[in-house]
Structure 1
Amino acid sequence: MESVIENRLGTSREARRIAFLLKCLTRPVLRYSPLTPPMLRLAGVFDWGASVVMRPSRHTRIERVRLDGFHGEWIRTEGITNPGRVILYLHGDGFFSCGLRTHRNLVAGLAARSDAVAFSVAYRQLPGAPLSTSMADALASYRWLLDQGYGADDIVIAGDSAGGFLAFTTVLSALEAGLPVPAGIVTLSPLADLDHVARKPYPHTRKDAYIPAHRLKGLKRLLLAGMDEDPSPSTRDLTGLPPVFIMVGSREALRFDAELMAARLAEAGVPHRLQIWEDQVHVFPVFAGVVPEGAQALDEIAAFVYEVTPTPRPTARAA
């Protein structure tokens, strides 16, 4: 199977401004901050700050759900006609930062455009939990949705960056456990390979507006604590995955991962599509309220959700 690769050309002034600000303000922090437990805990505070500056629309209803050792939240927006369609969302930011608040507007916008409800997961992260725990929480969230009465064919698993890693591993773990696979997978700028050496010569690694790929070596050591093998999606058998939609910026470090996964999906015969957006920053749809390309990207993702879940069941126990 050949990869379907689409290039989205053109960069707005707003997108260029965001890239400049991130390069000046965020890149130095990520580049030089030590990967120590105190610093990682400090990064987690960013999610709390987001509740002040990133408030969801008054038309958005949030319902917190306590699961086994972690929690998630239902996100419902006004006007949804198909509560049987659900997006399971796994947030990103390196397995140590961000959370439900930082991604709430992104998830709400995606759910509204997709005529779906969303379940966003606050999986456990560093420094309190290694990657194995994050993966277990993501899979438990999918199992929980199935237990609530949702059909696998009505669920799309989506994630950005580290959440993209989890989106892939959740479905791969579901396959290994004999669970039905979801209707589709959406990943935004996914981290798919923890190998810091393979990406070094890749030209876009040095052009990223703010992600310092060289920090992956230290992060990998923390993430794989207690694990015998590297569970990176790019190294695993991808046979049996549902249709996949990958979106990435043309000049970001994780374009390496996006193109690698497209090649691996093609080898496995998995239907997939890779969109490369010119000069967009890492997970640019999160800036949909500021950057016009972000809103356009959410529309593209929603079209994929409609495509793989054309006729969801009208009700489920959690709706």
Structure 2
Amino acid sequence: MTSTASNHPSLSYPPVPRPVLRREIAGVSIPSQALTFSVRSTVKPVIDAWARAPHLPWPTGVVDRLAFPLKPVPGTHRHAVRLPSCRAEFLAAPGADGSTAILYLHGGAFLVCGLTTHRQMVSRISSAAGAPVLSVAYRMLPGHPIESAVEDGIEGLRWLIAHGYPAERIVVAGDSAGGFLTFQVTLEALRLGLGRPAGNVALSPLTDLDTRGKLAHPNSYRCALFPRRAVPALADVIARIDAAAGGPGPRAVSPVDADLTAMPPTLIQTGSEEMTYVDAELMAARLAGAGVHCELQVWERQVHVFQAAAGIVPEAGRAVASIGVFVRSLR
């Protein structure tokens, strides 16, 4: 009689690598080019100034407050949620049927942004996916280490579970630094036995706190948003805050270095010339190497987290629609 894995559940086998499903989306519209020019001309110089003196007491909270003109999709219902250590917001765009929920972790280099900056984009994702979203205003640098943000993401997951969404019906999503947290929260949920989320969605994710890959890539000169000096500056801030909190150090918390074999299906979107492109590509390769289904979408010359411009930039609208298709496919 031939033995099988089901006959011997104690046997374990290495994961079977699978190819990354890579899609390259060509075309750069006039609105997209205008957005890139605007970001390069206005936001990048501010980030460069911060990177020259990252330890000064910058008023990071003002970014979220200034985003008040950004409104959610008309008809979106939302209410405030209080998690043990931070605020959150539960919102549902028209058509969100509740069969699946999304846990969303905003970007902003672990330093800036919040519920207000991301409310419009999150509501668009809710509409495209037909799913309500819990958006978490996790604790950030410099007051708290990254591990605090991971803990807050876990509390958001617990809140959704307590309100009728088992982990298997929750998609964990985020952009930039929130993409980093997307993977870390999923890994922590698996470690804690909370269940495996239905999927992960990461937009322009940071996935590796080792700066060498990003600085060695040509995109470190091409990126419309981040100057080169911002990469080591952020790494230094993270390491300093982590050390002060008694944490394990930056390399210990990079998701690209984790055991990814139990991770759920993943969609990663990135611009072809942005700083975190190399991180997106590396994470996709590591997931595929662990036998995890991963779709990597590379959008030609789109700015970092261009999805936030849906409604203005055609490519952004198509990217959000693609997120919706992916989330719906997990039901």
1:84 is displaced (CA, Å) by 3.1
Report if aligned partners of 2:213, 2:278 keep a CA contact under 8 Å in 1: no
1:256 is displaced (CA, Å) by 0.6
1:149 is displaced (CA, Å) by 1.8
Q: What is residue 108 of structure 2 aligned with on the other side?
A: 93
Say which SS state the counterpart of residue 50 (structure 1) adopts: coil
1:182–1:37 Cα change, 3 Å:
farther
Say which SS state the counterpart of residue 213 (structure 2) adopts: coil
Q: What is residue 211 of structure 1 aligned with on the other side?
A: 226
Rg larger for:
2
Report if aligned partners of 1:65, 1:72 keep a CA contact under 8 Å in 2: yes
Counterpart among 220, 228, 234 of residue 248 in structure 2: 228
Say which SS state the counterpart of residue 302 (structure 1) adopts: helix
In structure 1, how many angstroms separate the alpha carbons of the residues matched to 2:307 and 2:261?
29
**Identity fraction in percent:** 40
Say which SS state the counterpart of residue 176 (structure 1) adopts: helix
Report if aligned partners of 2:72, 2:121 keep a CA contact under 8 Å in 1: no
Say which SS state the counterpart of residue 11 (structure 1) adopts: coil
Judge which range, 197-206 or 97-106, deviates more. 197-206
* Aligned AA (1:22): V
Report if aligned partners of 1:125, 1:134 keep a CA contact under 8 Å in 2: yes
Counterpart among 52, 55, 62 of residue 36 in structure 1: 55
Give deviations 1:102-141, integer Å, cap 9, x for gaps.
1001010110111111110000101221111111111121
In structure 1, how many angstroms separate the alpha carbons of the residues matched to 2:74 and 2:212?
46
Judge which range, 294-303 or 200-209, deviates more. 200-209
Report if aligned partners of 1:196, 1:214 keep a CA contact under 8 Å in 2: no
Q: What is residue 240 of structure 1 aligned with on the other side?
A: 262
Q: What is residue 263 of structure 1 aligned with on the other side?
A: 285
1:60 is displaced (CA, Å) by 1.4
User: In the alignment, does 2:101 pair up with 1:79?
Assistant: no
1:161 is displaced (CA, Å) by 0.1
Q: What is residue 276 of structure 1 aligned with on the other side?
A: 298
Give deviations 1:202-236, integer Å, cap 9, x for gaps.
11121000112432323223324121143011111
Report if aligned partners of 1:196, 1:213 keep a CA contact under 8 Å in 2: no
Q: What stretches of structure 2 of length at least 5 have no aligned partner?
A: 1-17
Q: What is residue 188 of structure 2 aligned with on the other side?
A: 173
Report if aligned partners of 1:61, 1:75 keep a CA contact under 8 Å in 2: yes
Counterpart among 286, 306, 310 of residue 288 in structure 1: 310
Q: What is residue 122 of structure 2 aligned with on the other side?
A: 107
Say which SS state the counterpart of residue 43 (structure 1) adopts: coil
Counterpart among 57, 69, 77 of residue 61 in structure 1: 77
TM-score, normalising length: structure 2: 0.89
Report if aligned partners of 1:139, 1:173 keep a CA contact under 8 Å in 2: yes
In structure 1, how many angstroms separate the alpha carbons of the residues matched to 2:320 and 2:73?
17
Equivalent positions of 1:82-161 (< 5 A) are 82-161=97-176
User: In the alignment, does 2:223 pair up with 1:198?
Assistant: no
Q: What is residue 12 of structure 1 aligned with on the other side?
A: 29
Report if aligned partners of 2:55, 2:237 keep a CA contact under 8 Å in 1: no
Give deviations 1:1-59, integer Å, cap 9, x for gaps.
111100000010000000001101111110122212511xx1221101101x2122441
* Aligned AA (2:30): R
Q: What is residue 328 of structure 2 aligned with on the other side?
A: 306
Q: What is residue 70 of structure 1 aligned with on the other side?
A: 86
Give deviations 1:272-293, integer Å, cap 9, x for gaps.
1000000100000000021011
Q: CA RMSD in A?
A: 1.2
Report if aligned partners of 1:89, 1:159 keep a CA contact under 8 Å in 2: yes
How many pairs are equivalent?
305
TM-score, normalising length: structure 1: 0.93
1:57–1:271 Cα change, 3 Å:
closer
In structure 1, how many angstroms separate the alpha carbons of the residues matched to 2:291 and 2:79?
38
In structure 2, how many angstroms separate the alpha carbons of the residues matched to 1:115 and 1:246?
19
Say which SS state the counterpart of residue 153 (structure 1) adopts: helix
In structure 2, how many angstroms separate the alpha carbons of the residues matched to 1:255 and 1:57?
29
In structure 2, how many angstroms separate the alpha carbons of the residues matched to 1:214 and 1:4?
32
Report if aligned partners of 2:157, 2:167 keep a CA contact under 8 Å in 1: no
List structure 1 runs of 4+ shifted beyond 6 angstroms: none
* Aligned AA (1:96): L
